[in-house]
Structure 1
């Protein structure tokens, strides 16, 4: 890759809504040396962040190879999960063993982040030509923020990177690689500048999708915490105390400025009802990649995230559940939750589990009337029981399961929310005793984790997916999603501050922040624990919601989960639950104690840190940052080995905590005298082990 002053290929015009995009490649570089051009370029910065969610790299770089997710039967980005020899500087193609041409290259993030940095550099270098001080500061704040964010993403993945802070003139090929210490200093400096320049919570381009002072505060805290964490322990001792206190102060600003957490966890993701709906405007959201239904705003990359968290339901036995726009996700089976991702929750008391995992699909395709099944009967059922549950030890699971006691489980009929589509079978999974359910899985039998046994060859494709990206507003089965992608929110800010307190051994303060997050996670009095929703409901407002499509929507999305089947000893209740910790880091919940034992966390600090990593999973599962969090805290190797069987044999210490520097970039470098780099010089550019 080369740095060129006109690196941005498509920009946006300055408008009331930054998503009202139009191509402006006709602009010359001189246009961006005018006040009007600089503000137009500032608005265009928002488009750069949408790249992160436009293709397979969305999960490959951020979720694979961790404790939370592993690959299913689709092997597109397998190497990012298994850490095999195909994860290298050259990238993987079918000729080098990749399953297809869609495999993510290590150059993808590297190249795209520098495009955004180039635009930010142009704004910063020319801002003085803007006479209006308010507009000038706004442009600078945005430019410093995006440059800081892009360098944050680069440094988190690659370590020390090229720090280009001036507009490049022509083609430049003689760069120097900065150290990781120098790179974090640049990130932190940019975020500090943005924090100081943003005028509080002023939503310049539209509430909920605009960067503000609280956005900068959140990421400033993340960068400071990163510099203070274990990955940088060889050189960071002089920074730790001051960085942690500054990070606490930054978190405190964001929390104070944006108010309390939204009351219902479902409002963050599950209750998405359509384009620009109310939940996209929540005060808790600090940063989002904005999308809408205007095809002209898709840009170079649309939102493809709805593809990655869903099991391969359309290929399950009998074809009873077919895919379509009425089901909010496509069954690309990329991200399969690990056993840890289920076991980390309190299955009874933590509402986040049941507001996140989709466990029931309705029949929308009658494949065999001889079974007596009807459209709208359960076609896929996933029972998320606990390891100590022996209820299902004698059951046969998989295809065409006949379980007569699933009707009115133990005589219990939970009340459904008024207006639910499934009032006649309230709380039951079948309406007739002895009725078949075409596809059923369970997590545990006889104390063993058996969920991967329900599979197609060679790897399991039957699992409970998560609903944070489901979108029933799509205009085509494989069309782009129209919902925003949340990139930062206050739920994480509280956990960032709690971790800072842990590192300062202020465990009481950490406990207070943790309990704020866990209080929101509790069942509220009156809640129906069997009710489920996701972004499929946006189909109700979709112009395609007519005729057969409308029927398929009703049949497919049953608004129910398997809470009571998964917790068979729990009586039906609408009481509030209790997740509040009374001590920390001693005497933790049983699910946490089991995980801490598995990773060998013994000291108070280790117990506290790993608990926060567990809490981050419960709060932030699938929210595009797990790999960097584990790399930062020095826990990537131990937790991947403990909880991700596919990653455990390939992941290597002192190598896989960083990504390979793209070979295409290294090969394009020249010495100052114009000569090519020697093999030894190229090796110096590369990260250890690659």
Structure 2
């Protein structure tokens, strides 16, 4: 029997990704029924589910990071999508507003296919674990959807007849499915590395309960359950690596990484410049790209650190040097591949805000300067004072020294969850459950690894947690969700982003543009013309 997957989301995918349609339709579900019922065929289907993570996280990260307090575009070289970054022109047809919608539903379709075939494929001892992994991946996709758009249509099985109309399910119902999937996964996944494991499920369960706890339909126990799941994920493990070692390119699968999107040179060998991920391309200034091949990587000049973001770090915080490329050698990647840099010339230096004139003079006198050396005073190291290339401080934690100079792609893994964040999830969950003293203990574990003084109960509130998350997780794909979850998006974006005013968030009928709009392409394809748009965009 040929199974037909036709829905408003799949129709959207068909219109926006011919390659994806060919990949599925050319197999045909008749062929799939013969292939996926074998051990090797079903395993290939599971691998395809993992590959969907590359679609979600490996390309443009604007829905994760733009329009927040930490990142803003540079002037002149490149622009972020204006709707997502500034809100004034945010509407259902805005650039990239459909990015998570399309790619999350691709992942959901793939997961539903795997779950369907799990009952009829050749049964092996790994089947239960594989289904648990896929349910985690489906839960993750729905979690991205519900945070971004609110309630969305729920599809939790393989559709075997044409469907042209869909209703909108409530956000509460979406959370129910997410938690059902994660609890199912918790009882079946393994504990090994490289795949979804028990620690990854616990981490996501903690984050889902934490996020639902802020919602009007959240349960009285959500915050305490989030704290408990986070503590289970921590499992008594400390933050034993230095921040620099945590992000060392040669140490990607380290003890603190809970779950990541995996890449390798072999997996992208057929088209390295297209199939790798783009995480390292963002969060840095333009450095010349192909015209200086051999010296510097390509960067987008978007999602640059705001002045507010850089000032969150203190001089003694090891995460500043661990996150940013404060001084640049030639070639750029030399810092990553050379243990002894003494005697090497420096081409660019980005002054931190705490430098005094005496600090500046001492630094310049202490280094070997290349002939093209440029000293960037602090006033020119953040996003909104840009007049040329190299002007703003680059983020280095995602650097890939194995990538060709000038390339926009990388084979470095994209970390989705790690132990440092689990501690911060626990800190927030304990604070919100009324156990601030315990939450403070969790937060201070993170601060102690960074080499900074412990926070006190006087300091400890949701804004302090957001500041700590900014220092610990800068550039990782959490910030928009953090601000939306805590109800701080309007306040902090308008206060700290130079291009955002509070009035930018004003939508139809006095509603605020916090949820993203349901994409117009999905609405147009839906036969249900009563499908509701989010209120701010009506």
Query: Is 1:355 matched up with 2:208?
Result: no
User: Are the aligned partners of 1:291 and 1:297 in contact in 2 as well (CA < 8 Å)?
Assistant: no
What's the counterpart of residue 552 of structure 1? none
Q: Select which of 261, 265, 286 maps to 1:289.
A: 261
For 1:519 and 1:688, the matched residues in 2 are separated by 43
What's the counterpart of residue 268 of structure 1? 246
Query: Is 1:391 matched up with 2:354?
Result: no
Deviations 1:455-483 (A, max 9, x none): 228xx972112112111112462253111
Query: Is 1:521 matched up with 2:525?
Result: no
For 2:385 and 2:319, the matched residues in 1 are separated by 25
User: Are the aligned partners of 2:133 and 2:195 in contact in 1 as well (CA < 8 Å)?
Assistant: no
What's the counterpart of residue 44 of structure 2? 40
Question: Pairwise mapping of residues 175-186 of structure 1 onto structure 2 (< 5 A)?
Answer: 175-186=166-177
Q: Select which of 645, 667, 672 maps to 2:524.
A: 667
Query: Is 1:443 matched up with 2:378?
Result: yes
Q: Select which of 387, 395, 408 maps to 1:466.
A: 395
For 1:379 and 1:216, the matched residues in 2 are separated by 44
Deviations 1:28-47 (A, max 9, x none): 23236515333321122110
Structure of larger gyration radius: 1
Structure having the larger proportion of residues in helix: 2
Question: Pairwise mapping of residues 331-370 of structure 1 onto structure 2 (< 5 A)?
Answer: 331-347=299-315, 349-362=316-329
**Shift of residue 651 of structure 1?**
3.4
Q: In structure 2, do the counterparts of structure 1 residues 462 and 170 end up closer, same or farther at CA, with 3 Å as the change threshold? A: farther
Q: TM-score of the superposition, structure 2-length normalised?
A: 0.85
For 1:292 and 1:167, the matched residues in 2 are separated by 31
Q: TM-score of the superposition, structure 1-length normalised?
A: 0.67
Question: Pairwise mapping of residues 15-414 of structure 1 onto structure 2 (< 5 A)?
Answer: 25-26=26-27, 28-31=31-34, 34-36=37-39, 37-56=41-60, 58=61, 60-73=62-75, 74-85=78-89, 87-92=90-95, 105-130=96-121, 132=123, 134-199=125-190, 201=191, 203=192, 207=193, 209-229=194-214, 232-233=215-216, 235-236=217-218, 239-240=219-220, 242-256=221-235, 259-269=237-247, 271-273=248-250, 279-294=251-266, 295-296=268-269, 301-314=275-288, 323-324=292-293, 327=296, 329-347=297-315, 349-362=316-329, 377-386=345-354, 391=357, 406-408=363-365
Query: Is 1:689 matched up with 2:507?
Result: no
Count of residue correspondences:
506
What's the counterpart of residue 573 of structure 1? none
**Shift of residue 631 of structure 1?**
0.4
Unaligned stretches of 5+ residues in structure 1: 12-21, 93-104, 274-278, 316-320, 366-374, 396-402, 409-427, 523-577, 589-606, 672-676
User: Are the aligned partners of 2:8 and 2:165 in contact in 1 as well (CA < 8 Å)?
Assistant: no
User: Are the aligned partners of 1:358 and 1:466 in contact in 2 as well (CA < 8 Å)?
Assistant: yes
For 1:363 and 1:326, the matched residues in 2 are separated by 6
What's the counterpart of residue 579 of structure 1? 453
**Which range moves more in the overlay, 187-196 or 630-639?**
187-196
Q: In structure 2, do the counterparts of structure 1 residues 508 and 82 end up closer, same or farther at CA, with 3 Å as the change threshold? A: same
For 1:450 and 1:668, the matched residues in 2 are separated by 46
User: Are the aligned partners of 2:257 and 2:418 in contact in 1 as well (CA < 8 Å)?
Assistant: yes
**Which range moves more in the overlay, 74-83 or 661-670?**
74-83
Q: In structure 2, do the counterparts of structure 1 residues 55 and 288 end up closer, same or farther at CA, with 3 Å as the change threshold? A: same
For 1:145 and 1:390, the matched residues in 2 are separated by 50
For 2:201 and 2:485, the matched residues in 1 are separated by 20
Q: Which has the higher contact order (CA 8 A, sep 6+)?
A: 2
User: Are the aligned partners of 2:288 and 2:298 in contact in 1 as well (CA < 8 Å)?
Assistant: no
User: Are the aligned partners of 1:333 and 1:461 in contact in 2 as well (CA < 8 Å)?
Assistant: no
Q: SS in structure 1 opposite 2:252?
A: helix
Over aligned residue pairs, what C-alpha RMSD do you find?
A: 3.2
Deviations 1:6-33 (A, max 9, x none): 989889xxxxxxxxxx999536232365
Q: In structure 2, do the counterparts of structure 1 residues 9 and 210 end up closer, same or farther at CA, with 3 Å as the change threshold? A: farther
User: Are the aligned partners of 2:493 and 2:500 in contact in 1 as well (CA < 8 Å)?
Assistant: yes
